[in-house]
Each structure stands twice: as structure tokens, then as C-alpha cells.
Structure 1
């Protein structure tokens, strides 16, 4: 069974993001998608509810830069 996940690109993809940058990026994503956001943890690993679904953020390396991978938790 597959879990739902999505990626969010960082403005500065060459710099490893702090927890604060991750939270700001997720807030911007939620505002753009008009989904309700509630943080569970603003520390690493960052986790949040987007509407009713709980997600955890993982930092991944892609195309020579960093990106956020948000994976749905059970």
C-alpha cells in the first residue's frame, strides 16, 4: 500500500534548510493551496496536519539541491 506524499521546492535549494525555513515553506504551500495547516512539531522532524491528514517532512537531495518531501503518516 502506498502512502500519499508530495514535494515542495525550496527558494534556496542549495542551502540545507533549518526547521524555521521548513515551517515557512510549508506555510506558504498551505496558503497557496488553501488548505488548513496545523503544526504538530516545529522542530526536526517537522510534522503538521494539512486539513485532516498528518504529514512528516523529510529533506531530500534532488537535481543538485534540496527539496522537502512531505509524507503522510498513519
Structure 2
């Protein structure tokens, strides 16, 4: 029951017809955080991407939607 109330957000990927690499995921997160003036730090970049955004830990999953892929960042 505890996991149901975790916060998260989505990041849309531009031109995302192919599954994104870990490098592309990190670049998209960095661009998103920089545009908003947020402080971020990558914890794990290989395999599953985990990062801190304003002292909150997030794990990234890649999901599909019509026309491509998007990143779902969920609080850990």
C-alpha cells in the first residue's frame, strides 16, 4: 500500500522512435532539470537510471506511447 502514494513525473523524448540508450536517458534528464533550474545528481547510470532531484531519489523507467517512448521518473 505504501508504494501507491509515491510521486513521479514524465519526460517526453523528442524523436523517440527507437528505444533510448542510458546515455540518451541521462541527457534528457539533464536537459529537463537544467531547463527548470533544478539541482540533480546521477546515482546509477548503467542499466536502470537512478538520480537525485532536489534531494529526492528517482528511478527511471522507459514507457511507450503513441508515436514513441517517454521516461517515467518515480520516487524511490
TM-score (norm 1): 0.93
Is 1:33 aligned to residue 46 of structure 2? no
Q: Over aligned residue pairs, what C-alpha RMSD do you find? A: 0.9
Which residue does 1:5 correspond to in 2?
A: 8
Gaps of 5+ in 2: none
Deviations for 1:26-70, whole angstroms, at most 9, x for unmatched residues?
000000111101000111200000011000000001123110000
Aligned runs of 1:1-74 on 2, under 5 Å? Answer: 1-73=4-76
Higher helix share: 2
How far 1:7 sits from its partner (Å)?
0.4
**Deviating runs (4+, > 4 A) in structure 1?**
none
Gaps of 5+ in 1: none
TM-score (norm 2): 0.90
Count of equivalent residues: 73
